[in-house]
Chains A and B, each alone.
Chain A
Amino acid sequence: MELLIGQTLSGLANGAIYACIALALVMIYKTIDHLNIAQGEMAMISTFFAWQLMEWGVPYWPAFFLTIFVAFCGGVAIDRVLFRPLAKAPVLTHLAGFVALFMILNSVAGLVWDFTIKPFPYPFGTSPFLGSSLISTHQAAMIGISMVLLFLLYLFFQFTRIGLAMRAAATLPESARLVGIRTGRMVSLGWGMASAIGAVAGMLIAPVVFLEPNMMAGILLYGFAAAVLGGLSSPAGAVAGGLLVGVFENLVGTFVPGVGHEIKLPLALALIIAVLALKPNGLFGRKITQRV
């Protein structure tokens, strides 16, 4: 029983990270209707930035918040420079843009910081959380920080003017523009926020998976699985999907015999395929109806 609870909790810790990535994916999906394949690489490069700051002697928390800010600006810049000019281009062009971004970020990280694996500091240490043997402090922090972040985002979208404007711009861009919302800025803001959320997820997961240019591929896979499970268009669904996927991953790894660590990626893939085959709209997604 203790094993079950412990594994569920550490599953929730990983799940919180998947939830963040899934949310970042869903945010960009809602604003520009495309899934950002480079989302993981954006998070990775932000994490490298934080690592570099700490190498230069900046303490953890200033580096943490500075990285979030820089990631936000980077996300806005990517939108302005790369994707704004492509706004009316066909899907394939967008996809090529995402792939180009993916390759450049991955390659630049390798060029600047090389491909060796680097340790990343635990801000709270790895001691047992409050003396409990079930979960470490870092895992508790992963859950705590992500949940606070997600709650803040909820407040932002639900109760601020600009959050409302962003939702309007995402739902009906033309009508939003007619009532005076600068939809272009809202899209940029969405990119910046997605990038910042990714940075938080990257910095929280980096101590666990270690820092290297390909560190986010697996996480992105799980984030995508979470987003698909949550229905792709629902932010709350993405978060719930992330937590579910994290717990599922850990429980299967622990309790199904003959299944070890190496099953992680195939499991995510199987999950994606299963959801698409059995419940294509996910748990919380609406069925998309198209006007002919």
Chain B
Amino acid sequence: MMDIGNTSTRTDPSAAIPARPGIGARFNVIVTIVLLLVLVFAPAFAKNFFVFQMTLWLIYAIAILALNLLTGSSGQVSLGHSAFYAIGAYTAAILLNETGLNYVLTLPVAALFGFVAGFLFGFPALRLTGVALAMATFALAVATPAIIKLHVFEEWTGGVQGLFVDKPRAPFGLPISDDAWLYYLTLAVGVLVFLFGLSLLNSRTGRACLALRDNPIAASAMGVNVALYKTLIFGVSAAIASIAGALSAIAIQFVAVDSFTFHLAILLFVGMVVGGIGWLPGSLVGAAFVVFVPNIADGISQGLSGAVFGGLLLLVIFVLPNGAKQIATWLSAQFGAK
């Protein structure tokens, strides 16, 4: 897996001095290839329901990647990405129901709407930093279901009833199930978003954001437009979350208010922290927790998953400050040393 260690919020001494870069890099390449192969061939060996779960997993991974990009590059934290996820989901559902637009084409539209919403919300909110910004975005997440239910939007959003979406069929007569087709679509979008995220971090914009994160005053003295870049990266992150939301609407074939409470926003945050902040592949690990922990925990007792997630967070804080990234780095070092 590719490691963008230079964007983690804490400097990792072992990452700073790569002992044998050749072996470590080769290990990363091998892991990436194996992971991609597993992801590509998994549906052939799994039942449809499990394929559906894997689709959800990838969708959450995209949403968590959106957060990761925001927090990892600019140090801003959002507890309100459920709102942008909802914007994407409703955009896709409404477009599919009202216009008959091809479902693949709803994704860029959702991204555009998400970007605009993120940009507009970011403008006032970014006067805050740290926990205060998290609180303001949390306010957005808490208010989102109520906004969706407003009379003004009810005609479009279906209010409490929600909206139904037709399931897309596998095109071109491909000999795979509809679930598998959706899975591959999500995987393709996920890979594209991942590559986009990586190149963004290595671009001028990404470097400007890193500078902002590490020292806003020095960055602005160097000519980085603080407000513009902060809002820009917030908008991009919101756009990606919105794509994830649109994919979820298509995959679940149903959009309802109850899916977009602040619990979703908190789950995305937990996923990011568990996966390792600023480490894009960690999004997959975090998303796995987000999808599969509630399945197990809520089977034991309703509401238990919250406690499990809280416990996981504490574990990460006190034992593994870099989350899954730390484990991956350790593994990489173990195998690399041989």
Contacts and interface: CB of A to CB of B under 8 A. Distances in A.
Main secondary structure of the interface of B (DSSP, over half): helix
Interface stretch (A3-11, A138-146, A216-224): A216-224
Given A100-B317, A269-B140, A110 B277 contact: no
A96 B317 contact: yes
A272 interface: yes
A107 B314 contact: no
B139 A272 contact: yes
B271 to A, nearest CB: 12
A149 interface: no
Interface string B299-312: 00111111101110
A224 B131 CA distance: 12
A256 B10 CA distance: 50
A275 B55 CA distance: 41
Main secondary structure of the interface of A (DSSP, over half): helix
B143 A268 contact: yes
Most buried by B among A103, A110, A217: A103
B303 A262 contact: no
Interface in B125-179: 125, 127-128, 130-132, 134-136, 138-140, 142-143, 146-147, 149-151
Interface string A89-113: 1111111111111111011101100
Contacts of A92: 9, 71, 75, 77, 273, 277
Interface residues on A, range: 35 or more
B146 A35 contact: no
B103 interface: no
B335 interface: no
Contacts of B139: 221, 224-225, 268-269, 272
Contact of B302 (A89, A115, A224): A115
A272 B137 CA distance: 10
Contact of B303 (A93, A115, A217, A269): A115
A101 B136 contact: no
B23 interface: no
B266 interface: yes
Contacts of B149: 262
Most buried by A among B121, B135, B139, B311: B135
B270 to A, nearest CB: 7
B135 A104 contact: no
Contact of B310 (A86, A104, A258): A104
B217 interface: yes
A272 B77 contact: no
Interface string A270-287: 001110110010000000
B194 interface: no
Given A37-B131, A277-B123, A280-B127, A263 B150 contact: yes
Contacts of A280: 127
Contacts of A118: none
Interface of B: 9-10, 71, 75, 77, 79, 121, 123-125, 127-128, 130-132, 134-136, 138-140, 142-143, 146-147, 149-151, 217, 262, 266, 269-270, 273, 277, 301-307, 309-311, 313-314, 316-318, 321
Given A107-B305, A272-B139, 14 more contacts: A35-B132, A92-B277, A96-B317, A100-B314, A213-B303, A217-B142, A217-B262, A232-B132, A264-B146, A265-B146, A266-B146, A269-B142, A276-B125, A290-B217
